[in-house]
Amino acid sequence: MTKIIFLDAAGTLFDVRGSVGEVYGQIAQRFGVTVKSEELNAAFFQSFASASPMAFPGIEAAKIPQLEFEWWQTVSVKAFQIAGIFHQFSDFSKFFVELYAHFATAEPWFVYPDVLPALNKWQQQGIELAVVSNFDSRLYAVLKALNLAEYFTSVTISTEVGAAKPDSQIFTAALQKHNCIAENVLHIGDSFKADYCGAKNAGLNAIWLNRQQETIDSGKWNLTDSQKVEEFPSLDFI
């Protein structure tokens, strides 16, 4: 019996308007830097994919916001370097301060149309809702700005736990906030590896929210029911 639903954040509840490359490019233009959004978007995801997990084990809470800022700055610098335009900035640090603050607002994000109906339905059914995300601490401001914060009784993020999905430690930390066993919790997220595999390996029930209709070779994943991946293209079907 599902008593609690954990949900991922970016890519599940909300996503970037247009593309990351478009948003980065629009703000870069204010600093005299012009780049094709498609090229910058590809460079960003190349940089993001090569970055270490955004988690800082053993670090005191007061230092985490600065480490988050530095982590994203490193990803962004590398993205512009890959795109071959980093040298065009006269003051990249000033640009990045503005960029980082921008993503803490509602402006660059949109809420998927299936989200509010699903959250309202589950809330009416008496199911407790929580967020488990590899986002940084700006997530609290983003959820509030998008009018989503009121739905969730807890928010668990990788930077505060010191472990990022698919590490089971972040799911364990979320469970501890709810006095509930893993078998009674369902986790929903858009990443097959981080969300579905991570939750299943932590003992939770899981659904892969396959919004992009990706195909995966389930046989290569370490799952006891790897041939029976439960997936849906939207929250409407759950």
* Residue range 118-127, pLDDT digits in tens: 999 999 999 9
pTM metric for this prediction: 0.93
Q: What angle do CA 51, 57, 61 make, to 5 degrees?
A: 110
Output the furthest CA–CA distance in the chain (Å, rounded).
57
What is the pLDDT, as a whole number, of residue 210?
Answer: 95
pLDDT confidence tier of residue 11, bands split at 50, 70 and 90: very high
Residues 45-61: tens digit of each pLDDT: 999 999 999 999 999 99
Q: Which residue has the tokens 């600093």?
A: 31
State whether the Cα torsion 15-107-85-87 is positive or negative: negative
